Copies of this chain bind each other. A is one copy, B any other.
Amino acid sequence: MDVPWLDRTQLAAWVRVAALLEVLPGTLDGQLRRDADVTLFEYFVLAMLSESPTRSLRMSELAAQTSATLPRLSHVVKRMESRGLVERRPDPDDRRATTCVLTDGGLARIEQAAPGHVAAVREHVVDVLTPEQITQLTGIADALLRSLDSSGGMAAMYRRYDDGAVSGAPGAATPPVRP
B9 contacts A118, C-beta separation under 8 Å? no
Residues in B with CB closer than 8 Å to A165 are 9
Q: How many copies does the complex hold?
A: 2
Among B17, B24, B126, B162, the residue within 8 A (CB) of A148 is B24
User: CA separation between A8 and B126, bound complex, in Å?
Assistant: 12
Q: Which residues of B contact A131 (CB under 8 A)?
A: 9
Contact with B along A18-56 (1 / 0, CB 8 A): 111111110100000000000001001000000000000
Q: A19-B157, A136-B136 are in contact. Are A27 and B148 (CB under 8 A)?
A: yes
Number of interface residues of A (CB under 8 A): 73
User: Which chain A residues numbered 108 to 141 have a C-beta less than 8 Å away from chain B?
Assistant: 115-116, 118-119, 121-126, 128-129, 131, 133-141
- Interface segment out of the listed A77-85, A88-96, A97-105, A171-179: A171-179
Q: Describe A's contact surface by its main secondary structure.
A: helix
A34 to B171 Cα, complex, angstroms: 39
Interface centre among A66, A131, A144 (most CB of B within 10 A): A144
Contact B118 A10 (CB under 8 A): no
Q: How far is it, in angstroms, between the C-alpha of A12 and the C-alpha of B175 when the chains are bound? A: 11
5 closest A-B pairs by CB: A12-B163, A16-B141, A22-B67, A15-B161, A136-B136
A residues bordering B, Cβ < 8 Å? Answer: 1-25, 27, 41, 44, 66-68, 115-116, 118-119, 121-126, 128-129, 131, 133-145, 147-149, 154, 157, 161-166, 171, 174-175, 178-179
